[in-house]
Structure formats: C-alpha cells, structure tokens
Amino acid sequence: MCCLKPSVKNATEIIAATGLGQANVSKHLKVLTQAGIVKRTPIGVSVIYEIADPICLRLCELVCDRLTVRLQEQSQQLGNLKSLATSKKL
C-alpha cells in the first residue's frame, strides 16, 4: 500500500518498488482489491492499481505508529530485565 501512496502503479512497478515476487504481489493485490482497499483499473492490456480510499493510508499510519511505540516499550522492558539479571549475577 505504501508504494501506491504517491501514485498509481501497475503490478510490474509494484514488484519493482517492493522487491516482492510476482505471485506474492498478485495475491496481495487480489485480497486488497476484494476488500475494497485498492482499486483496479484496466487500461488496454495493462491494469493499474491505486488506493481506493485515502483514509486507509491514514489508518495504516496510525497502526504503524502504535506498533512502533509498543515495540519501543518492549525494548525498554527487555533492557531493564537484562540490567536486572546482570546486576544479580554480580
């Protein structure tokens, strides 16, 4: 979805932008299209993909931001546990 944020792309451009395999990209595009998150538009022999509703991108940003905060909290907790374990060994 992130690679579709700036502009529409065809499957080949998405594969190049993500580094994923063709089968993987096709599967994801199918699921996203069926869910109404991505819009598929045939143009001649090609198909272009675009984000169907920009609010989906905002939701993804919110989720990613929250996951980042949570991972930082867990990392801090792990660091505290390691410090505690090291101090008990001394």
Give the model's pLDDT for residue 85: 81
**Hey, what amino acid is at 16?**
A
Helix H or strand E encompassing 44? none
* pLDDT range class, residue 83, cuts 50, 70, 90: confident
Give the model's pLDDT for residue 90: 62
Helix H or strand E encompassing 43? strand 38-43
CA distance 28 to 33: 8
Q: The whole model's pTM is what?
A: 0.69
Distances (CA, A) of 66 to 23, 71, 80: 30, 9, 21
CA distance 86 to 19: 41
The SS3 of residue 48 is: strand
